[in-house]
Amino acid sequence: MLTRLFSNDFPRSRILAMILLLVFLALALTPFLIPGVKALNVAAKVLVFIVMVASFDLLLGYTGIVSFAHTMFFGIGAYGIAIASTRMDAGWGALAVGLLLALAVSFVLAAAIGLFSLRVRAIFFSMITLAFAAAFQTLASQLSEFTGGEDGLTFKMPEALSPSFELSATPFLGVSLDGRLICYYLLFAVAVVLFLAMLRIVNSPFGRVLQAIRENEFRAEAIGYRVVIYRTVSSVLSALFASMAGAMLAIWLRYNGPDTTLSFEIMLDVLLIVVIGGMGTIYGAVIGSALFVVAQSYLQDLLRLGSEAAGGVPWLAALLSPDRWLLWLGVLFVLSVYYFPSGVVGRLRALRQPPPRAPAPRARTT
């Protein structure tokens, strides 16, 4: 059963398996372990980024394609939910219509970019995708009648997902069973299903071909695989999963705007998380997202405590000022790349493998 569930791709490291289990339990029990709005928002953001980063890893880590248009598909998913929810009555029908339309638009755009641009090599393809992403962000900002412009769109969710909805008047383990809790566990279930689906894709024969293309696309083409078709399908699948992640974020926030899903800073965050977690692992999306989002959310609080504790040393208190949290986040990233060049997952898996044995000396013959 577990073999099928994880597509025969186990962590291959006891430490990694324990960390993944702890992250899973922490996300599953966050509403009960750490009550509060901030902790729940951080956990929901981790779930969204797990799907988003894993979808980008499918593109970069397994196919070797560097695309900067990933946030475009992320935004399409979010705008699909937002526009449908504002144009229609707040309900499950609006969510279904918005998601289907977003997936259809992402499919068409990803296929077009793949077929017309993937024949271009390396940096030229990256620049084309960056141009697409910039154009879409400008378009979303200017079409205010549909997207709300720079102000974005605020919309309502189905009653069962709204914070005012109460499943039970009696709290369970001290936690109110309201629509916010239902919405969180909906995101949790969707994230688990999408993650396992991506794990299945990369471990299928199709995924093996993608890895062969990543290693040597000329050899893969010489064997008989149509590289452009495989790369295009990989781009489409990655875009669809990214759109699902955007829809998850819109459902949780009940708001979407250009800076929320289309910002280039989000693309940089995704790149950092992929590198931190480990490219070409899928599991790296879980580790990297948890580390990055938690550090991004709580680093200022930790620095504030450190600055207050070092009040007697003015220069140290100034260095630990919460206003310098980006500096310390950069330091943490540099250290993680230095000590984990293959990512956290790659490093932990390498520790499990014994060092290669030196060949036995040959006996001399006279």
364 belongs to a structural domain? no
Question: Residue 203: enclosing H or E segment and its boundaries?
Answer: none
C-alpha distances in angstroms, 148 versus 73, 157, 180, 288? 18, 18, 25, 33
Q: What is the pLDDT of residue 252?
A: 93
What is the mean predicted confidence (pLDDT) over 43-67?
A: 91
356 belongs to a structural domain? no
Dihedral (CA of 341, 346, 348, 349) sign:
negative
Bigger pLDDT: 321 or 243? 243
Query: Looking at the chain, how many residues does it have?
Result: 366
Percent of the chain with pLDDT over 90: 31
Mean pLDDT in the chain?
85
* pLDDT band, very low/low/confident/very high, at 354 (cuts 50, 70, 90): low
Indicate which CATH number applies to the domain containing 334.
Answer: 1.10.3470
What region does 149 belong to: left with phi over 0, alpha with psi -120 to 50, or beta?
A: left
Q: Which two tokens stand for residue 161?
A: 């997902």
Bigger pLDDT: 11 or 154? 154
339 belongs to a structural domain? yes
**Contact indicator for 274, 22 with CB cutoff of 8 Å:** no
Q: What is the pLDDT of residue 302?
A: 84
Residue 361 to residue 346: CA distance in whole angstroms: 32
What is the mean predicted confidence (pLDDT) over 106-128?
A: 79
Among 20-24, 209-213, 245-249, name the one with the lowest average pLDDT.
209-213
Question: Residue 160: enclosing H or E segment and its boundaries?
Answer: none
* pLDDT band, very low/low/confident/very high, at 241 (cuts 50, 70, 90): very high
* pLDDT band, very low/low/confident/very high, at 363 (cuts 50, 70, 90): low
117 belongs to a structural domain? yes
The residue range of the domain holding 110 is 2-351
Q: What is the pLDDT of residue 20?
A: 92
**Contact indicator for 58, 237 with CB cutoff of 8 Å:** yes
Q: What is the pLDDT of residue 193?
A: 95
Q: What is the pLDDT of residue 74?
A: 94
Q: Which of 92-101, 129-138, 160-169, 338-347 has the highest mean pLDDT?
A: 92-101
Q: What is the pLDDT of residue 185?
A: 93
360 belongs to a structural domain? no
118 belongs to a structural domain? yes
359 belongs to a structural domain? no
Q: What is the pLDDT of residue 117?
A: 65
Q: What is the pLDDT of residue 32?
A: 87
Task: State the total domains in the chain.
Answer: 1
Among 206-210, 339-343, 349-353, name the one with the lowest average pLDDT.
349-353
Q: Degrees (nearest 5) of the Cα angle 357, 358, 359?
A: 115
Q: What is the pLDDT of residue 88?
A: 84
Q: What is the pLDDT of residue 35?
A: 80
Q: What is the pLDDT of residue 361?
A: 56
What is the mean predicted confidence (pLDDT) over 315-338?
A: 79
Residue 351 to residue 353: CA distance in whole angstroms: 6
Q: What is the pLDDT of residue 65?
A: 82
What is the mean predicted confidence (pLDDT) over 117-143?
A: 81
295 belongs to a structural domain? yes
Q: What is the pLDDT of residue 340?
A: 77
Among 68-82, 108-122, 210-224, name the one with the lowest average pLDDT.
108-122
| pLDDT at residue 152 greater than cutoff 90 | no
What is the mean predicted confidence (pLDDT) over 229-250?
A: 92
pLDDT tens per residue across span 283-310: 999 999 999 899 888 888 888 888 888 7
| pLDDT at residue 328 greater than cutoff 70 | yes
Q: What is the pLDDT of residue 366?
A: 47
